[in-house]
Amino acid sequence: PQTIYLKDYTPFGFQVDSVHLTFHLSPKATRVVSRIEFTPQPDAKDKTFFLHGEQLKLIAAKIDGQPVSPAVTPQGLTCDAPTEPFVWEAEVEINPQGNTALEGLYMSNGMYCTQCEAEGFRKITFYPDRPDVMSTFTVRIEGDEKVLLSNGNPTGSGEGWAEWHDPWPKPAYLFALVAGDLINHPDRFTTKSGKDVELNIWVRPGDEDKCAFGMEALIKSMKWDEDVYGLEYDLDIFNIVAVDDFNMGAMENKGLNIFNSSCVLASPETSTDANFERIEAIIAHEYFHNWTGNRITCRDWFQLCLKEGLTVYRDSQFTSDMRSASVKRISDVIDLRGRQFAEDNGPLAHQVRPESFQEINNFYTATIYEKGAEVIGMLKRLVGDDAYAKAVALYFERHDGQACTIEDWLQVFEDSTGRDLSQFSKWYSQAGTPRIKVTDDYADGTYTLTLEQSTPPTPGQPDKDPRVIPVAVGLLGQNGDEVRETEVLELTEAKQSFTFEGLSAKPIPSVLREFSAPVILERETTNAERAFLLAHDSDSFNRWEAGNTLAKESRIAMVLDGAAPDADYLDALIKLVRDDSLDPAFRSLVLSPPSQSDLAQTLFERGHTPDPQAIYDAAETFAQTLAEAMTDSLPRLYADTTVQGDYSPDAASAGKRDLNTRILSLLTRLDGGDQAARQYADADNMTVQNAALASLLKAEKGAEQSQTFFDQWQGDRLVMDKWFGLQVACAAPAKAAGLAEDLTKHALFDMKNPNRFRAVMGALAMNQAGFHYAGGAGYKLLTDNLIALDALNPQTTARMCAAYQTWKRYDDTRQGLIRTQLERIAGTENLSRDTSEMVTRILN
């Protein structure tokens, strides 16, 4: 496969002045007629008239009304083109029904829908399918479906047809079309300048009672973007459509967002608190793209983080404002460490702005999204909130309607603050997670903090330069009071010291408050000091972090030395969990165990070979010891955290339920599942039903409930995904692979549906001790399924290959077993470009 390089960027030699598309819908033979106005660019370096096109049957092509015969390859066509403005017309035939890759125009449960980002539009018609080619689109859809949708504003409709016009120039990846017998949940929004906007969530009949929450989230997002960023919606209508078969979460097509149904449909009976929170965040994310992504887009796909990092940053600000900022920060860091650190410290490590790729779909990663958002957060921390607001305003003023680069983004910050950001830009060009070694010293009233940064090599980047790292630091006195408020230290050298004068005694430092940079802190300190911070730090992130570090160190000692759970930590933890002056959501986070994958990575970095089974056993022993130590208080805590009354997905209730769920799982270790069985029987919402079932399954007591759950919910696709996933997630290590295999033979398992495939295979890969269980049955099962799916859906297959990205952590036997599987995938005939690139990178 061909490698594409950032350094080879050249603009397209033609401007697109307008695009007219007519769709004659038919499941197996849709005709797409295009009429596109082109203007040759006189000073273009490359004057070749090349249009992308894949899997298209060309019926006819004309230039200025005259038939032409272009040279067609599997990638597209080339044709002689006039030197004056001209009109290109083409008719092609495509097969939506046969499109199992779910990219381009495809069918899902009888409805037509599209997914064009990144390079799917070329499967719809011949076109310069690149984000820097922007144009207005006029679309006519002819079909028997009741609802025919595209981007922009509706301009006419009648029996069997509808027309849409999008006045905002856009790249083809934002094109969308939907046709089906759908029902809408309507509402309206008046923008701050008084524009009345029609809002709709379109769903299949039967799902209309699951739209209200998504609609509320949309309206909150529209209002928030006006209030916080001053950004207003710019069309007469905003449509969201729920689709069952979708490769990712959702897509920000202009005026017509298309969502994986799991990321928009919600009801108390069928969705958990976590689902509600995620839906709110994703609706916001896609909506926010209207400005950060659509009005200002990317020049080329290497700039993907320009829209994704910024939009994730914006949606996390939104969630912080709607819910609890400190809980959101802690959850984001847990997620970052779980997904991005794993990526950044393994064979798939890449820059926030990559410089080469084979398949761009493989770069919709935690590094582009979540680390990309962290980079924005650091920038804001360095320049300050007001300067951030000014720079972003300048970005919209200067670049509205353009396709931009990271340089454009950094330039507005340089111009509006006068700051030199050349060193900061290394966050975009250097992969890998920086380590910061912290040492300190106190003498004569002066406290000195010395920070030393280094970044381990990553593929293709053996040496790294020091970066600018904002390290937020506060100092505490021996009595727990804060003696220095948070200050952001700017670490720019490889090694640098910072002094604090006028201190009467040696303070206790609280370093990297709010997780002010995506780095790994290395500091030799005592458990006593961690326990002190857990009890006293005024920064809630670092308070949680102190507990998390204690938990990790205790687990590591258990794994390496067979130690018992650390008694001081247990005491501190119990005290905190019982402290009802603290937010239940925070207590729940403190109680949540460090992830087994995170522990494996830490052990590996300290020179040990992690044993997934030993890590699992330590977690079990710890939880059992904790439950026994809390025997007297668990029933009361359970009762106190049980949420009474009608279900509401608000943050406070959700936090309480989350804590309640953790208490229940401890209680189940003592009562054999009695309370969980009662909770299951009484459940009137999915959060508590799901939690009870999980506790029972973990205790191997849930067979009966699993059956009743199935009987109750077999008609609901999204709840059935939970049923499939939960069983594998909760399975004991020795049973996980076998159970997952049985589930792939279940009548309702369908690998063509990405949600269902991920429910089973994703859960297996996440069940660390089960996936890595001795013998390698988990590896074999995952690989069999990946190979089978690759022929149907390369994108989802390639993404799931990341389950193997941590393979070099493990012992020789496991590495050998995994290598065999990776080589099996690599040796598969007609392997997709997507999967081939992933497997090659993982193997190297």
Nearer to ligand B3K, 290 or 433 (CB): 290
Least separation in angstroms between CB 246 and Zn ion: 14
Query: Choosing among Zn ion, ligand B3K, none, which partner's interface includes residue 364 (Cβ < 5 to 8 Å by kind)?
Result: ligand B3K
Nearer to ligand B3K, 207 or 834 (CB): 834
Least separation in angstroms between CB 78 and ligand B3K: 27
Task: For the chain, give percent helix, strand, coil, nearest 5.
Answer: 45, 20, 30
Rule CB under 6 A: say whether 790 interacts with ligand B3K. no
| Among candidate residues 597, 430, 596, the one with its CA nearest the CA of residue 518 | 430
Structure tokens at 814: 């496991």
Query: Choosing among ligand B3K, Zn ion, none, which partner's interface includes residue 315 (Cβ < 5 to 8 Å by kind)?
Result: none
Structure tokens at 359: 């398949």
Least separation in angstroms between CB 322 and ligand B3K: 18
Least separation in angstroms between CB 516 and ligand B3K: 25
State the Cα–Cα distance between residues 539 and 522, nearest whole angstrom. 19
Least separation in angstroms between CB 364 and ligand B3K: 5
Quick one: which segment of 23-31, 244-252, 317-325, 563-571 binds ligand B3K (CB under 6 A)?
244-252
Least separation in angstroms between CB 251 and ligand B3K: 5
- Burial-class residue 71 by CB neighbours within 10 Å (0-12, 13-18, 19+): exposed
Residue from 130, 140, 285, 669 binding ligand B3K (CB under 6 A): 285
Nearer to ligand B3K, 233 or 544 (CB): 233
Catalytic residue among 117, 280, 286, 370: 286
| Among candidate residues 714, 708, 668, 717, the one with its CA nearest the CA of residue 691 | 668
State the Cα–Cα distance between residues 481 and 27, nearest whole angstrom. 69
Quick one: which segment of 247-255, 403-411, 569-577, 613-621 binds ligand B3K (CB under 6 A)?
247-255
Least separation in angstroms between CB 187 and ligand B3K: 22
Least separation in angstroms between CB 313 and Zn ion: 11
Rule CB under 6 A: say whether 313 interacts with ligand B3K. no
Query: Choosing among ligand B3K, Zn ion, none, which partner's interface includes residue 117 (Cβ < 5 to 8 Å by kind)?
Result: ligand B3K
Quick one: which segment of 46-54, 246-254, 409-417, 763-771 binds ligand B3K (CB under 6 A)?
246-254
Residues 544-563, mask of contacts with ligand B3K (x by CB under 6 A): --------------------
* Backbone region of residue 160 per phi and psi (left: phi > 0; alpha: psi in -120 to 50; beta: other values): left
Rule CB under 6 A: say whether 77 interacts with ligand B3K. no
Contact of 470 with 381, CB cutoff 8 Å: yes
Residues between 280 and 309 with contacts to Zn ion, criterion CB under 5 A: 308
Query: Choosing among Zn ion, ligand B3K, none, which partner's interface includes residue 428 (Cβ < 5 to 8 Å by kind)?
Result: none
Quick one: which segment of 22-30, 245-253, 510-518, 747-755 binds ligand B3K (CB under 6 A)?
245-253
Rule CB under 6 A: say whether 308 interacts with ligand B3K. yes
Rule CB under 6 A: say whether 118 interacts with ligand B3K. yes
Least separation in angstroms between CB 290 and Zn ion: 11
Which helix (DSSP H) or strand (DSSP E) does residue 62 occupy? strand 57-63
State the Cα–Cα distance between residues 541 and 510, nearest whole angstrom. 10
Query: Choosing among ligand B3K, Zn ion, none, which partner's interface includes residue 248 (Cβ < 5 to 8 Å by kind)?
Result: ligand B3K
Nearer to ligand B3K, 289 or 329 (CB): 289
Residue from 252, 440, 539, 721 binding ligand B3K (CB under 6 A): 252
Nearer to Zn ion, 311 or 331 (CB): 311
Contact of 599 with 592, CB cutoff 8 Å: no
In 3-state terms, what secondary structure has residue 67? strand
Residues between 189 and 228 with contacts to Zn ion, criterion CB under 5 A: none
Q: Which residues on neighbouring strands pair with residue 54, listed in sequence order?
A: none
Q: Has 286 been annotated as catalytic?
A: yes
Nearer to ligand B3K, 308 or 344 (CB): 308
Least separation in angstroms between CB 564 and Zn ion: 46
Least separation in angstroms between CB 275 and ligand B3K: 18
Beta strands in 455-604 (DSSP E): 469-476, 482-491, 495-500, 508-511, 520-523
Quick one: which segment of 1-9, 53-61, 285-293, 711-719 binds ligand B3K (CB under 6 A)?
285-293
584-591 vs 567-578: helix axis angle to the nearest 10?
Answer: 160
Rule CB under 6 A: say whether 134 interacts with ligand B3K. no
Residue from 244, 277, 286, 721 binding ligand B3K (CB under 6 A): 286
Quick one: which segment of 229-237, 282-290, 371-379, 812-820 binds ligand B3K (CB under 6 A)?
282-290
Nearer to Zn ion, 277 or 308 (CB): 308
Q: Which residues contact 291 (CB under 8 A, 6 or more apart)?
A: 225, 229, 231, 396
Q: How far is CA 713 from the centre of its chain?
A: 27
Least separation in angstroms between CB 103 and ligand B3K: 8
Contact of 151 with 139, CB cutoff 8 Å: yes
State the Cα–Cα distance between residues 107 and 97, nearest whole angstrom. 5
Nearer to ligand B3K, 416 or 835 (CB): 835
Query: Choosing among ligand B3K, Zn ion, none, which partner's interface includes residue 118 (Cβ < 5 to 8 Å by kind)?
Result: ligand B3K
* Number of residues forming the site for Zn ion (CB under 5 A): 2
Rule CB under 6 A: say whether 251 interacts with ligand B3K. yes
State the Cα–Cα distance between residues 1 and 426, nearest whole angstrom. 29
Nearer to ligand B3K, 151 or 554 (CB): 151
Structure tokens at 438: 């912290």
Rule CB under 6 A: say whether 117 interacts with ligand B3K. yes
Q: How far is CA 18 from the centre of its chain?
A: 34
Quick one: which segment of 283-291, 294-302, 371-379, 443-451 binds ligand B3K (CB under 6 A)?
283-291
Q: Which residues on neighbouring strands pair with residue 259, listed in sequence order?
A: 242, 250
Least separation in angstroms between CB 246 and ligand B3K: 10
Contact of 396 with 412, CB cutoff 8 Å: no
b/e burial code for range 573-590 (CB count within 10 A of at least 16 → b): beebbeeeeebbbbbbbb
Query: Choosing among ligand B3K, Zn ion, none, which partner's interface includes residue 756 (Cβ < 5 to 8 Å by kind)?
Result: none
Number of Cβ within a 10 Å radius of residue 391: 22
In 3-state terms, what secondary structure has residue 571? helix
Nearer to Zn ion, 63 or 250 (CB): 250
| Among candidate residues 543, 548, 552, 556, the one with its CA nearest the CA of residue 508 | 543
**Phi and psi dihedrals of 186, rounded to 5?**
-95, 160
Nearer to Zn ion, 244 or 308 (CB): 308
Residues between 311 and 330 with contacts to Zn ion, criterion CB under 5 A: 311
Q: Reduce the secondary structure of 384-437 to three states and give it as a string.
A: CHHHHHHHHHHHHHHHCCCEECHHHHHHHHHHHHCCCCCCCCHHHHCCCCCEEE
State the Cα–Cα distance between residues 4 and 357, nearest whole angstrom. 5
Structure tokens at 730: 């909760």
Structure tokens at 243: 């689709």
Residues between 345 and 384 with contacts to ligand B3K, criterion CB under 6 A: 361, 364
Q: How far is CA 436 from the centre of its chain?
A: 26
How is residue 8 annotated by DSSP? Answer: G
Nearer to ligand B3K, 131 or 673 (CB): 131
Which helix (DSSP H) or strand (DSSP E) does residue 224 occupy? helix 212-229
Structure tokens at 739: 């159970």
Contact of 693 with 705, CB cutoff 8 Å: yes
Query: Choosing among ligand B3K, Zn ion, none, which partner's interface includes residue 281 (Cβ < 5 to 8 Å by kind)?
Result: none
CA separation, residue 7 to residues 247, 300, 356 (Å): 30, 11, 9
Binding site for ligand B3K (CB under 6 A): 117-118, 248, 250-252, 285-286, 289, 308, 361, 364
Binding site for Zn ion (CB under 5 A): 308, 311
> Which residues are identified as catalytic?
286
